[in-house]
């Protein structure tokens, strides 16, 4: 679809995302940059691994960053294949899954970005993980995980590339400090002192200079230096301006009070607000903590749908007929306070309609609406479990030193 200077394509699941990504990788002439939380090596994910290898063998510069919790291990054979082909890869904070027991290590690289030859970009919530493969059970799933990404061609691609280049350079700089034993000194400094050393003082200027004010697609980042509230603020502003309909799909849902208030106020003023949340869940604690918030939202007229067909991994939203966002940021403390995230915000009626249609299909196929009366009269043990889970999540965030 053509959107002023941008060509945008909404991609649903790995079945649409992987072919588009691999086509771009196979057409690369100069450079590929890819960031992902999870890089899995099963089923169709291997097709992406092969495409990166092919690109590097052609002489394309390939720079890959994976998160140390999402991707704790790379199979030895693929380490060797990538080394021989020239794929350059780095692991962000390589501490492994045990890091989740230490709240000070929850600042993860959660975004999913790719830029090929500074001409084609991708942003969304889809990991390099086959949507029919369940890594928890190491088995195939009948129904694909629900998730989305956007392929973009146009000025916004430069903004994505600049941010990815900064991240790569920053990691190289930190690796050098670690080798020189200076990293322990840097960790004692405040963020505003580190930022100029890493070139972050220009990040906000570069991001906004990368595309004109009239562009209908732009990149939003969330980090712990210059962009602490950018994604949350975009959600709140869009919801506050909503007049007819809001649909939000979020795999993890524990929004800060200002965002929760915006949803409640929208519902009370007659906007049709629908939240699509996990029903078939991976982790019990965040699922039960989210249910602690259902009561007040339902009382305000907000519709809550629990998606039960398969895992919900989407982080998308649309407002009325003109605004939507697709990215990696959930509406929970880990995404909104701690992790590095990236979303595209699009103002385009065609893509907004496409996203709305796909969400409606998902709701009809696998959604179960939460009945306000049944929820209000749920068993005491369920209410107690919701309360305990909610306060455990709050306590965990408090331990990190963040306020929510």
pLDDT tens sequence across 171-227:
998 887 777 665 554 554 444 344 434 443 333 333 333 333 333 899 999 987 778
pLDDT at position 309 is 95
Tracing tokens 């909610």 back to the chain, one arrives at 390
What CATH fold (topology level) applies to the domain 222-399? Endonuclease; Chain A (3.30.870)
Q: Give domain 2-209's CATH superfamily.
A: Endonuclease Chain A (3.30.870.10)
pLDDT at position 266 is 98
- The percentage of residues in the chain with a pLDDT greater than 90, rounded to a whole number, is 73
| Domain boundaries of the chain, sorted by first residue | 2-209, 222-399
Conformational region of residue 169, where left means phi above 0, alpha means psi within -120 to 50, and beta covers everything else: alpha
pLDDT at position 106 is 72
- Measured over the CA atoms of residue 346, residue 352, residue 354 and residue 356, the dihedral's sign is positive
Do 2-209 and 222-399 have matching folds? yes
Question: Quick one: DSSP state of residue 300?
Answer: T
Query: Which of 147, 142, 141, 144 lies closest to 127 in space, CA to CA?
Result: 147
- Measured over the CA atoms of residue 264, residue 276, residue 368 and residue 139, the dihedral's sign is negative
The segments of the chain whose pLDDT lies below 70 read: 1-4, 96-104, 180-215, 400-404
pLDDT at position 138 is 86
pLDDT at position 214 is 38
Cα–Cα distance for residue pair 12/364, rounded to 1 Å:
16
Phi, psi (deg, nearest 5) at residue 143: -115, 140
pLDDT tens sequence across 266-312:
999 999 999 999 998 888 999 999 999 999 999 999 999 999 999 99
**Rounded to 5 degrees, what angle do the CA atoms 93, 95, 96 make?**
120
């Amino acid at each position: 679809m053509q959107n002023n200077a941008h060509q945008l394509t909404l991609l649903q699941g790995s079945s649409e995302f992987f072919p588009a990504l691999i086509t771009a990788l196979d057409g690369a002439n100069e450079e590929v940059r890819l960031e992902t939380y999870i890089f899995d090596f099963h089923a169709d994910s291997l097709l992406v691994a092969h495409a990166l290898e092919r690109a590097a063998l052609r002489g394309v510069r390939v720079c890959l960053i994976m998160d140390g919790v999402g991707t704790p291990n790379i199979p030895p054979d693929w380490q060797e294949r990538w080394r021989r082909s020239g794929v350059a890869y780095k692991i962000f904070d390589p501490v492994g899954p045990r890091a989740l027991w230490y709240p000070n290590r929850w600042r993860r690289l959660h975004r999913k970005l790719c830029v090929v030859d500074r001409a084609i970009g991708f942003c969304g919530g889809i990991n390099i993980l086959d949507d029919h493969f369940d890594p928890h059970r190491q088995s195939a799933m009948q129904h694909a995980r629900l998730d989305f990404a956007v392929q973009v061609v146009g000025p916004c691609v430069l903004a994505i590339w600049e941010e990815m280049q900064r991240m790569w350079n920053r990691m190289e700089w930190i690796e050098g400090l670690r080798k020189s034993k200076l990293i322990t000194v840097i960790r004692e400094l405040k963020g505003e002192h580190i930022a100029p050393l890493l070139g972050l003082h220009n990040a906000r200027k570069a991001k906004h200079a990368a595309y004109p004010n009239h562009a209908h697609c732009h990149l939003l980042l969330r980090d712990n230096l210059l962009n602490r509230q950018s994604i949350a603020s975009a959600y709140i502003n869009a919801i506050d301006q909503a007049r007819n309909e809001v649909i939000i799909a979020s795999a993890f849902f524990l929004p800060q009070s200002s965002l929760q208030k915006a949803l409640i106020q929208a519902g009370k003023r007659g906007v049709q607000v629908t939240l699509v949340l996990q029903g078939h869940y991976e982790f019990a604690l965040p699922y039960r903590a989210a249910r602690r918030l259902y009561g007040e939202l339902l009382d305000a007229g907000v519709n809550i749908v629990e998606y039960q067909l398969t895992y919900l991994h989407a982080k998308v939203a649309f407002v009325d007929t003109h605004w939507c966002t697709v990215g990696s940021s959930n509406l929970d403390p880990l995404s909104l306070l701690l992790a590095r995230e990236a979303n595209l915000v699009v103002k385009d009626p065609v893509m907004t309609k496409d996203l709305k249609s796909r969400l409606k299909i998902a709701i009809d196929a696998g959604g179960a609406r939460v009945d306000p009366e049944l929820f209000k009269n749920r068993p005491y043990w369920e209410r107690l479990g919701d309360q305990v889970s909610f306060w455990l999540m709050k306590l965990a965030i408090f331990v990190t030193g963040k306020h929510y």
